[in-house]
Chain A
Amino acid sequence: MSGRRVLKAVLVDLSGTLHIEDTAVAGAQEALCRLRRAAVAVRFVTNTTKECKRNLLERLQRLNFDLQEEEIFTSLSAARRLLEQNQQRPLLLVEESALEDFTGLDTSNPNAVVVGLAPEHFNYQTLNTAFRLVLEGAPLVAVHKARYYQRGDGLALGPGPFVAALEFATGCSATVVGKPQKTFFTQVLSELGCSPGEAVMIGDDARDDVGGAQEAGMMGILVRTGKYRAGDESKIAPPPYLTCDSFPDAVDHLLKNLL
């Protein structure tokens, strides 16, 4: 016990960190309970754009994780907030299951393009439609720019490559609303009334979770589950505050050294 009470908030990634598709990371539920018993706020931040918040919550609860909908912050809700602020009508390249988070927005005659993770929309025709809109001046909003993610059958392309394709073709830069954007992390922390220096982020994506959090002034812990591949910790500078085998190990470290 160091007794240094420097930590006020722990942000935790979901997919690849707490679970991989419908399987929980071994010991993750119990580790979350231990973390909750400490005097620290826990929030869940995710770029999982395939699903609306309600689906995410239901899946996690099925896997016996103890969490509430209002503790989850997603890049989809951040995208919606941006569209509402700018009063735009989006062409939504998001999966059916994520549309619920955009309910009520006018999508007729679109003047903005939102790209999430939508394998069934990432085809030649739809990308051409999106491309023409952006070329004519519609803003391009990326729910996040992850390169790839871990699927049951192996690695699969994330939204990032398709955003990069549209950016290259149009010469425009996308507004990215999810991780690793600094504003995404700071928005969550400001609602908790804590500064980045008092918070840690735990995730399996070296760039988007750890790099992004550290860029925002937080500590970043990389876990070797999900999409993690050997050597990922050396892909970001500065390197992660800590790299450990899985979420339970990360919690052990926090409880022992920072809480």
Chain B
Amino acid sequence: MADTSWTSSAKSLKGVILDLCGVLYDSGEDGGTPIPGSVEAVKRLKASDLKLRFCTNETQASREKFVAKLQRMGFDISVCEVFSPAPAALAVLRDRGLRPHLLVYDGLLAEFESVDKSNPNCVVIGDAAENFSYQNLNDAFRVLIGLEKPVLFSLGKGRYYKETDGLKLDVGAYMKALEYACDVEAEVIGKPSPAFFNSVLRDMGLEPHQVLMMGDDLVNDVGGAQHCGMKGLQVRTGKYRPSDQEHPTVTADGTVDDLAQAVDLLLGERGGVSP
């Protein structure tokens, strides 16, 4: 049963931000599979008068690579519409003159090619998946504990996500491990950091209250967006779990079965396109 109370604000919306993994597709070792109806749903959003951006904590591949993957799945999406943590991290490193030790997925290394990584004075951790070995975590730990004031950047802080073969620990869990080991607090780059959401809003030229964020992660997508003043909608795909509905601190503005249903309801309410 769809909760439709959130659609009352549909008419005043000027933009939509979509999470990628778990909303558009389910990731997996085969590269991933589109969630039924989502290719069409993105098309319809693009054809509407709403501004559309994509906001992901995807850090297993460079932005170019995973956008190309989505295009192969049939999605109408381009690199300049996608906001991901690595390019944002790069800007922060440059800004503060930091030299990173990287604990990231091999596919992400290209994003950091231009940065001086000698004699590191901070650690950047992303969703490194199989690269989260004891040895690699220990190497990152030793860099941090050897610094007078450890600086740890985490590309997102998700707890887990769903792949086709089951739930997997996300970068947030490993961020916690290093935080705990070194008694530091990581600086999160990506969702749910307000700086990250605000950079997307700036690019859209919209105010937070004019924008709806849709994601499968209650805390990082929905809660993060709400914290910035946006509306947050949760989809029952991807990592969604029924227990999200009783979360102690975050309540979504609405919950829908999937992106296709959300777009039906949203565009239907705006009266533009019939489902």
Contact = CB atoms under 8 A, between A and B. Distances in A.
A155 B145 CA distance: 9
A158 B177 CA distance: 10
Interface stretch (A33-41, A161-169, A176-184): A161-169
Contacts of B181: 147-148, 157-158, 160-161
A68 interface: no
A154 interface: yes
A124 B169 contact: yes
Nearest to B145: A155
Given A169-B159, A169-B160, A127 B179 contact: no
B160 A123 contact: no
A166 B132 CA distance: 14
Given A122-B134, A135-B167, A164 B141 contact: no
Contacts of B73: none
A223 B183 CA distance: 21
A120 interface: yes
B240 to A, nearest CB: 14
A164 B179 CA distance: 9
B167 A148 contact: no
A147 to B, nearest CB: 5
A145 to B, nearest CB: 8
Nearest to A130: B169
28 contacts: A122-B133, A123-B132, A124-B131, A124-B169, A127-B169, A127-B173, A128-B166, A128-B167, A128-B168, A131-B167, A135-B160, A155-B145, A156-B138, A157-B134, A157-B138, A157-B181, A160-B181, A161-B137, A161-B141, A161-B180, A164-B180, A165-B174, A167-B176, A168-B176, A169-B160, A169-B170, A169-B172, A171-B159
Interface string A109-129: 000000000011011100110
Contacts of B183: 147
Interface residues of A, number: 28
B142 interface: yes
Interface string B157-193: 0011000001111101110111111110000000000
B130 interface: yes
Given A124-B133, A171-B159, 20 more contacts: A119-B134, A128-B167, A128-B169, A131-B169, A147-B181, A147-B182, A148-B141, A148-B145, A154-B142, A157-B181, A158-B181, A161-B177, A161-B178, A161-B180, A164-B177, A164-B179, A165-B173, A168-B176, A169-B173, A169-B176
Contacts of A169: 159-160, 169-170, 172-173, 176
Contacts of B129: 124
A132 interface: yes
Nearest to B132: A124
A119 B132 CA distance: 12
Contacts of B173: 127, 131, 165-166, 168-169
Interface of B: 129-134, 137-138, 141-142, 145, 159-160, 166-170, 172-174, 176-183
Nearest to A121: B134
A152 to B, nearest CB: 13
B10 to A, nearest CB: 32
Q: Interface majority SS on B: helix, strand, loop or mixed? A: helix
Nearest to A148: B181
B61 to A, nearest CB: 17
B169 A147 contact: no
B180 A147 contact: yes
A242 B181 CA distance: 25
Contacts of A160: 180-181
B245 to A, nearest CB: 14
B8 to A, nearest CB: 32
Nearest to A145: B180
A165 B177 contact: yes
Contacts of A128: 166-169
Nearest to B129: A124
A120 B181 CA distance: 18
A236 to B, nearest CB: 12
Contacts of A170: 159
A162 B176 CA distance: 8
Contacts of A158: 181
B132 A164 contact: no
Interface in A130-145: 131-132, 135
A158 B166 CA distance: 27
Interface centre among B141, B167, B180 (most CB of A within 10 A): B180
Contacts of A161: 137, 141, 176-178, 180-181
Interface centre among B142, B145, B173 (most CB of A within 10 A): B173
